[in-house]
Structure 1
Amino acid sequence: MIRIQVPATTANLGPGFDSCGLALSLYLTLDVGEPAEEWRIAHDLGGGIPTDASNVIIETALSIAPNLEPHHLKMLCDIPAARGLGSSSAAVVAGIELANILANLELTPERKVEIAAEIEGHPDNVAPAVLGNFVVGAKLDGEDFYVRHLFPDCALLAFIPKEVLLTSESRGVLPDQLPYKEAVKASSIANVMIAALLQNDLKLAGDMMERDLWHEKYRAKLVPHLKPLRELTKANGAYAACLSGAGPTILIFAPKSEGENLIQVMRNFDQTAKVLSLNVEGNGSTIFS
């Protein structure tokens, strides 16, 4: 049996909008079973996720290799859907890996990122899902540009509310354009944030994460817990709290010594939410056999 494992991802990190992404230690796992007369994918995610060839994983695989022989598949996924943790990107990357294995395509990591970014529209989630760790990327005129780098060591905490928030809804509140001076300021904030991360300066990076001008102030009305949670975690030693992707999950960056206390603080803040302590996933998508 072959097993495909794809990590969750968080995108943006505040001002790195549609560009910065980080792989996290939650996973979509796909077991590839025996050949069959038709595609079947078993899972326990509920009736909203197809179990036949209309599943995103299988659709993606067939878009790359249309003549694939059907197989029975089994999916386990601890990446919550519609929470800003890259569940759809993980499914796309799993489909690419499935096609690569079954059709013996010998795709390079670079080609996997290229295919995934074409499907998703930008590389912020899919590049770290393939490559692991921290990736800064851009899709320009159909060409992909990106840099992978090690993320600074810290506590990574995810505050995952019970409510879902579809990316389409979260994107719908964004403006069509920004005034030139504001865009320059937003860009400079992102530049300093990335430079600080490359220097392992999470204090400065965290300050920049919370000054985003690209998207968070528009999405804040859809995520009312962002502002009070940011103030609460900052008062308890966090470097920063920012939207994970389009939300509603909030990702908190903190010194490792503050991790346990912050977990309890967030659980007290909202007992209906799930609070997870995560790690940076350094390997990206992985194949086991």
Structure 2
Amino acid sequence: MFAICQRVHRVRSIFIGLVSHKKSKFAYNQGHDGLANTLKVALVEKGLDVHVQINTSDEYSPNMLQIDGKIAWASVSETLKIEDQWGKYLRHGASQPSTALVNSFRSISRRLWAFIRYWRPWLSSDSTASPGISLVRRLLNIELSHVRLMREGIRLDTDWTLIIEDDASTLDLVDCRDGLLGIINASFGERGPAYVNISESFTPAQLGVDHLLTASSGSTWAGSASRVIALSIRPVTNTVCAILYRTTFLKDLLTYMDSLPLSPVVPIDWKLNAALMAMTADGRIGTGDCWTVTPGPIDQLSMR
């Protein structure tokens, strides 16, 4: 279980890391009017010590991994494998026998679809311009950018680390700011979350996690909008578009992520899920350590 130690009162601190790229269609979010910087100003007004870093670098280098068609296909296969494991993890203790055949059919269908769509174009050419290789290179670059920003939050030793992607947006900055402050203040010096899902690309029901969530009886959303803070029986995720991590937990999480191989390359969402499943199995995180705000205060523009 993740526990929080009592601290002497001091100024709360947060690191905001923005994952972006020079060629991103959401590059405008890198500027002063982007979410990272506007949220910084709003939080500083409330007395928080806020650090921001915007990463637009190409983190991937061919020296790290030579990506060819076989690696590209292995990446698809590994992603589907983790997706299956995650589905079983979510259904554990709740799955009905009648759903076993349906779940098996879905798994086979996903693999068949991936085979039809990617097998020939990915294995017929090792050109760096081929769709599969380009996709894997992009996924790896995103993963490395996330990890770099996570390490920066750990290096700064802030209380919290907020990692957002450049398609993150909010319609009400004050609501978002006040709600995050409520979570930070309610958790300060007490038991609280290891991490909080604050962006919602899909509803809990659509993700199949609603049976794991229970509305918190002790913590409510401090912003002006009607939102629910839900505690999870076991760790779940929505999207890596915006996740608030307690930095002490992030150190442990990153240790698990570092233990996973660089190849096959899987999307950062699934690599995070793989690490969380391992941490759960080892008893490093458990009931109540994951919070989810629904509806999320941060929107993922690329999903709209």
Which structure features the higher share of strand residues? 1
State the TM-score, normalizing by the size of structure 2.
0.26
